[in-house]
């Protein structure tokens, strides 16, 4: 049994790098996903994951499968969509969700078109579904840097982020931290989606954010345990997904996300805050 679970990670360097990449992504993206959920912005995370595609595709067009070019392009595209949709929402009759949907649909179509016309089917699959089993040292350094930036930023912004989840109007009226919390969080969202893009692809990157947070919410109510449990679930799904993919030959990114989905469905059915709950849900959470 130990050979089944440990041998792939002990014998193969690509499995070790993939595990390190999944660990970095879990420690970074899962906490961002918790605040994304508490701010009721989970669908926005999905939209932003698609919005980075044209920037990454342009980076690929200019420099091929270059880590730096695709990262810079993805970050630029994500920030452009976030700022552009917000500007449209503030200056027109459209709400932010509608303007964001319009921007991300255009971005997704443009990105797929660029890769399809100028690349090949292998390149398209690389962009859409990632290459976690092909992470090199440069990609691991990028994921580690994003992880460190995210954790430090969350420590600095923790209190204003919690307040913004509880009462954004109060934070805007009483604290100068409101813009830093809002735009800082949007920046963290974009860079973590770019990190997830390199490992899991644009179509799967948001899964490691939303599903661990949603699953953990069925079990705990306080923010500290919520953050810890979401990270643990993401780590477990990453490690088990790599092993299942290795032994079955199935694509790794969908297996990891489906593992998270299985945890979510189990928690939905059996967790204290899931369908078993007999009392009506509260409209607040505990800090």
Within-domain flag for 201: yes
Within-domain flag for 88: yes
Mean pLDDT of 210-223: 94
Within-domain flag for 279: no
Best CA proximity match to 184, nearest among 161, 215, 217, 216: 161
pLDDT tens for residues 17-26?
A: 999 999 999 9
Within-domain flag for 25: yes
pTM exceeds 0.75, yes or no? yes
Within-domain flag for 9: no
pLDDT tens for residues 176-186?
A: 777 788 788 88
User: What single DSSP character describes residue 275?
Assistant: T
Q: How far apart are CA 124 and CA 250, in angstroms?
A: 18
Structural domain containing residue 34: 16-206
Domain holding 196: CATH number?
Answer: 1.10.3470.10
| Cα 38 from chain centre | 15
Within-domain flag for 253: no
Within-domain flag for 238: no
Per the structure, how many domains does the chain have?
1
Mean pLDDT of the chain: 84
pLDDT tens for residues 125-151?
A: 666 667 788 888 998 999 999 999 999
pLDDT of residue 198: 82
- 114-123, long-range: CB < 8 A, 24+ apart: 114/54, 114/57, 114/58, 114/60, 114/61, 115/57, 115/60, 118/60, 118/61, 119/60, 123/60, 123/65
Q: How far apart are CA 197 and CA 131, in angstroms?
A: 9
Best CA proximity match to 28, nearest among 260, 176, 231, 228: 231
- Half-sphere exposure (Cβ direction) of 74: Cα atoms closer than 13 Å: 29
Within-domain flag for 278: no
């Amino acid at each position: 049994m130990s050979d089944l679970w440990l041998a792939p990670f002990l014998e193969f360097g690509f499995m070790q790098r993939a595990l390190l990449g999944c660990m970095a992504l879990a420690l970074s993206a899962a906490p961002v996903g918790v605040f994304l959920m508490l701010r009721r912005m989970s669908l926005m995370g999905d939209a932003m994951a698609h919005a980075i595609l044209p920037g990454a595709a342009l980076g690929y067009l200019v420099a091929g499968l270059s880590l730096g070019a695709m990262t810079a392009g993805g970050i630029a595209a994500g920030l452009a969509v976030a700022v552009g949709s917000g500007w449209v929402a503030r200056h027109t009759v459209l709400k932010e969700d509608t303007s964001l949907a319009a921007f991300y649909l255009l971005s997704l179509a443009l990105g797929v078109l660029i890769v399809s016309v100028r690349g090949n089917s292998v390149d398209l699959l690389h962009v859409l579904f990632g290459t976690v089993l092909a992470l090199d040292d440069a990609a691991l350094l990028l994921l580690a840097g994003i992880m460190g930036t995210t954790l430090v930023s969350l420590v600095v912004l923790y209190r204003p982020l919690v307040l913004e989840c509880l009462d954004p109007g109060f934070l805007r009226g009483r604290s100068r931290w409101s813009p830093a919390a809002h735009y800082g969080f949007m920046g963290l969202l974009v860079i973590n989606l770019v990190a997830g893009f390199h490992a899991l692809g644009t179509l799967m990157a948001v899964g490691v954010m939303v599903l661990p947070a949603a699953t953990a919410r069925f079990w705990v109510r306080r923010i500290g345990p919520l953050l810890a449990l979401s990270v643990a679930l993401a780590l477990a799904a990453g490690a088990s997904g790599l092993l299942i993919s290795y032994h079955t030959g199935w694509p790794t990114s969908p297996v990891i996300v489906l593992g998270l989905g299985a945890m979510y469905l189990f928690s939905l059915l059996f967790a204290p805050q899931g369908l078993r709950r007999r009392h009506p849900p509260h409209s607040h959470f505990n800090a």
